Chains A and B, each alone.
Chain A
Amino acid sequence: MGLKFLGLLLLIVALALGLWFGTDTPLGAAIFQLWPEFLNTFQAGVQRRVLPELWDWVILPVLLWPVWAVPAGLGGLFLLLGLARRR
């Protein structure tokens, strides 16, 4: 029930984000619109205190995905897991 609910919620969030920002808008652009200073500070924190490559090769590619893709992907996954568990 929990996973299914979470999955549905994330799919609704994905739909809302897609409608609000447009289907082509990258996740990073949406974050930048909402909090212009966040990504710069976050990037500096990751690259200076953790690992530069973590930003370049993991976080940045995710930020370049359409804004709806991450919640849609996670929502779909949770929904499938929830349905599978029920069976």
Chain B
Amino acid sequence: MFIKRRRGWEIPESQATPEHLVLGRRALMAAAGAGAMLAPSVAKAQFWRRSEPADPWTRLPAEIPDLPPAMRNTRYPADRALSPERDAVTFNNFYEFGSDKGIWSTALRMPTRPWTIKVDGMVESPGEFDVDDLIQRIGLEERVYRLRCVEAWGMTVPWTGFQLSKLLDIVKPLGSAKFVRFETAQKPEVMTGLRQSWYPWPHIEGCTIEEAANELTFMPVGLFGRPLPPQNGGPFRVVFPWKYGFKSGKSIARITLTDQRPVSFWETLQASEYGFWANVNPQVPHPRWSQATERLIGSNERVPTRMFNGYGDFVAGLYTNLQNERLWA
């Protein structure tokens, strides 16, 4: 009689795992592998979500002092109602923190004290200035400006700060200085956008020396009477109310006077859409949308956009001999 003795490794066909389950297991293992690679990111995301501050006015550090009293300058009437305060500090563009409008909670992780601003280049008296020393030295005023974003929305907000020309008076530009370059701080520990090393960081913006000296060019350190929060460019930024908003550099760490026209961050990325001058003009559309009207943040009302954002009386003269320049993009 033939008796077959199975060796240890021999098992009947019926006990073999079906093929579809084996292949399914491989897919499962692949998914597990991918999950393991992304798990640190997901875990970090959960941690960050839990640590999000709830108040968009949160100060970091908490000891940031209140601003000294500032009188409102009525020479620049906004002719519009103020945008709701909450909207102004929770609807922001700040590319270092991301592309979406809700970057405020991420931006609030950036400490804004101590903060120094280096002013160098073609000036008689270069130096580094502590932001609180500058506030004390120059003094503050409040100005209500309309802000027109290149994305066809607008806000009206009260900035507290000082005219850039007052800072220029301190450092005394040389006659050879033709342009002013604004450099945003780089804080890789909180600015997740800086991880995208292929972009031309730091964020640079610039203007001519004449634009910098114009009475409208303002250096806010506050918003709605409180210290300027980082999502709005705190603790120290520049505002050109007659230009599209992206020209108004945020969280500035360095100002350089130069005879070379600065090439801005956005100009490097998409020169066809974001040029050097970028003056507001409702008759010149953006390559992808009209600039004829703007949506007011808060009310969502759509209103006509005005030439130079309504500030032509103050700035149109800056451009009379520049007709060959691309002034509107």
Which residues of A are at the interface with B, using a C-beta cutoff of 8 A? 26, 28-29, 31-33, 36-37, 39-40, 43-44, 46-48, 52-53, 55-58, 60-61, 63-64, 77, 80-81, 84-85
Q: How many residues of B contact A (CB 8 A)?
A: 25
Contact call B198/A58, Cβ cutoff below 8 A:
no
Cβ-neighbour of B45 out of A33, A39, A43, A53 (below 8 A): A53
Contact call A43/B99, Cβ cutoff below 8 A:
yes
The 0/1 profile, CB within 8 Å of A marked 1, for residues 224-252 of chain B is 00000000000000000000000000000
Contact call B197/A26, Cβ cutoff below 8 A:
yes
Contact call B100/A47, Cβ cutoff below 8 A:
yes
B111 at interface, CB cutoff 8 A: no
A65 to B38, CA, bound (A): 12
Main secondary structure of the interface of A (DSSP, over half): helix
B74 at interface, CB cutoff 8 A: no
Contact call B196/A28, Cβ cutoff below 8 A:
yes
Main secondary structure of the interface of B (DSSP, over half): helix
Residues of the B chain whose Cβ atoms lie less than 8 Å from the Cβ of A26: 197-198
Contact call B196/A63, Cβ cutoff below 8 A:
yes
Residues of the B chain whose Cβ atoms lie less than 8 Å from the Cβ of A29: 197-198
A39 to B269, CA, bound (A): 10
B62 at interface, CB cutoff 8 A: no
Minimum Cβ distance to chain A for residue B228 (Å): 23
Contact call B23/A64, Cβ cutoff below 8 A:
no
Contact call A56/B198, Cβ cutoff below 8 A:
no
Contact call B26/A84, Cβ cutoff below 8 A:
yes
Residues of the B chain whose Cβ atoms lie less than 8 Å from the Cβ of A44: 99
Cβ-neighbour of B195 out of A37, A39, A60 (below 8 A): A60
Contact call B23/A52, Cβ cutoff below 8 A:
no
A77 to B22, CA, bound (A): 15
The 0/1 profile, CB within 8 Å of A marked 1, for residues 189-201 of chain B is 0001001111100
Contact call A84/B38, Cβ cutoff below 8 A:
no
Minimum Cβ distance to chain B for residue A1 (Å): 16
Residues of the A chain whose Cβ atoms lie less than 8 Å from the Cβ of B45: 53, 56-57
The residue on A at minimum CB distance from B272 is A37
B44 at interface, CB cutoff 8 A: yes
Contact call B269/A61, Cβ cutoff below 8 A:
no
